[in-house]
């Protein structure tokens, strides 16, 4: 039952936002009593914590599966982007922003975990791209990976990019293209243009 509650809460939070969904909403959506939810989660904060953990692990597993395929580095970045867009339901409510606003402690822990995982993944991707001649040899891998992370977090800022004007799928696509164009060689640009035109 605990897993079912987490899965359903995850869907509701992604679609409606962490702030909007109440324990009553979740209970009525699942056709169970609030008491059943509280038997597994002390309060809403504990549920939000469990849900963000669940989503983080699901996304990490999906990304690991893509990394195991050892695709060409630029294709790999686009495969990860497609997976994230599919999984995050296009972030209609910008859950990351709501998490930061209403659950700052959970947000900070999650951001730290995301950075650690993403840093490793991006550095590996950059190094492989340099070896394969699709990324420029002169780039500082450490700095570039951090710039990429900051940008990915930055496009989720609702004050800068209101979700009504800038759909997350478009922002992610534009930002990824911006990132790759900044570090690609001629060979890399050829691959990038092919992927964009598909």
DSSP string, 128-156: HHHHTTSB-TTS-HHHHHHHHHHHHHHTT
Task: Tell me the pTM.
Answer: 0.86
Q: Which CATH class is domain 45-197?
A: mainly alpha
Residue 93 predicted with pLDDT over 80: no
What the block records as the tokens of 154 is 């930055």
Residue 91 predicted with pLDDT over 70: no
Residue 96 predicted with pLDDT over 60: yes
Q: What are the tens digits of pLDDT across the range 18-47?
A: 888 999 999 999 999 999 999 999 999 999
Report which of 125, 147, 127 is spatially closest to residue 137, judged by C-alpha positions: 127
Distance CA 158, CA 94 (A): 7
Give the pLDDT band (50/70/90) at residue 194. Answer: very high
Return the pLDDT at 151.
Answer: 95
| CB-CB contact of 122 with 115 (8 Å) | no
Q: What is the Cα 16 distance to its own chain's centre?
A: 17
The mean pLDDT value for 117-132 works out to: 95
Region of poorest pLDDT, from 14-18, 61-65, 100-104: 14-18
Q: What are the tens digits of pLDDT across the range 73-87?
A: 999 999 999 998 887
Return the pLDDT at 89.
Answer: 60
| CB-CB contact of 73 with 48 (8 Å) | no
Return the pLDDT at 94.
Answer: 67
Q: What are the tens digits of pLDDT across the range 137-191?
A: 999 999 999 999 999 989 988 889 988 899 888 999 999 999 999 999 999 999 9
Distance CA 68, CA 58 (A): 16
Report which of 160, 198, 196 is spatially closest to residue 176, judged by C-alpha positions: 196
Distance CA 157, CA 69 (A): 32
């Amino acid at each position: 039952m605990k897993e079912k509650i987490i899965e359903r809460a995850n869907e509701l939070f992604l679609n409606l936002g962490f702030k909007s969904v109440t324990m009553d909403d979740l209970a009525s959506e699942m056709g169970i009593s609030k008491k059943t939810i509280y038997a597994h989660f002390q309060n809403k904060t504990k549920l939000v914590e469990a849900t963000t953990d669940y989503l983080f692990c699901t996304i990490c597993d999906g990304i690991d599966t893509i990394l195991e395929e050892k695709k060409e580095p630029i294709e790999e970045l686009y495969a990860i982007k497609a997976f994230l867009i599919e999984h995050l339901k296009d972030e209609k409510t910008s859950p990351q922003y709501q998490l930061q606003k209403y659950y700052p402690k959970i947000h900070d822990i999650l951001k730290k975990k995301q950075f650690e995982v993403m840093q490793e993944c991006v550095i590996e991707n950059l190094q492989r791209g340099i070896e394969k001649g699709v990324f420029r040899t002169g780039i500082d891998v450490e700095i570039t990976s951090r710039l990429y992370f900051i940008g990915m977090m930055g496009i989720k800022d609702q004050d800068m990019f209101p979700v009504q004007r800038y759909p997350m799928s478009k922002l992610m696509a534009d930002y990824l293209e911006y990132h790759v164009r900044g570090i690609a060689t001629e060979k890399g640009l050829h691959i990038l243009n092919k992927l964009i035109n598909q």
